[in-house]
Amino acid sequence: MHTARQQGRPWLGPAWAGLGGRGWITTDLAALIERRPEIRDRTRAIDRHIITALLDRRDVPLREKTLWRLAYESAARADEVLALNIEHLDLDNKRGRILGKGGTARWIHWQSGTTRLLPRLINGRTSGPLFLADPRPHRCPDHR
């Protein structure tokens, strides 16, 4: 008879031993549980040269290029990066304050590629969203 530990469920062993030692359980319940098959992920990381070529493309708009590079260099989730405001950036220390999963504030860090792009993207702005949906100046309709 296989024990819980032998079947890949080491956390069950002590529980069953404690209950079985008291005579409350006389059957090895772990032996009755079917083990789920392990799913093997064969996904491979993208080659560094391909990433570099993508991030260095000249036909990509500055906003997207900065977004891609910041997400890649910081390993932050897309929604975290897109929610960054300019006032949450610490450009001198190559970091930005984000709200992570569960609403916890934390710092993300980036490298020199993002550091080179950010001043052009910010373009003199001091607050507001880092990644604007429409980077053109807002124009009010002409009221005559």
Q: Are 66 and 112 contacting, i.e. CB atoms less than 8 angstroms apart?
A: no
d(CA 138, CA 50): 37
E strands in 23-85: none
Domain ranges of the chain: 1-36, 61-122
CA 38 to chain centre: 24
| Count of residues in the chain | 144
Q: If pLDDT is split at 50, 70 and 90, which confidence band does 103 have?
A: confident
Q: Residue 78, Cα to own-chain centre: how many angstroms?
A: 7
Cα-based distances in Å from 112 to 6, 91, 93, 106:
49, 11, 11, 20
Model confidence at 9, in pLDDT bands (50, 70, 90)? low
Q: Average pLDDT for residues 38-48, to the nearest whole number?
A: 85
Does position 2 have pLDDT exceeding 90, yes or no?
no
Q: Is 9 helix (H, G, I), strand (E, B) or coil?
A: coil
CA distance 97 to 89: 6
d(CA 75, CA 111): 11
Q: Which has the minimum average pLDDT: 4-13, 49-58, 79-88, 103-112?
A: 4-13
Beta strands 95-99 and 89-90: pairing type?
antiparallel
Least confidently predicted of 74-88, 96-110, 125-139: 125-139
Is the model's pLDDT at 102 over the cut of 60? Answer: yes
CB atoms within 10 A of CB 64: 11
What is the reported pLDDT for 131? 95
* pLDDT of residue 108 exceeding 60: yes
- pLDDT surpassing 90 at residue 82: yes
Q: Which residues pair with 107 in a beta bridge?
A: 97
pTM of the model: 0.63
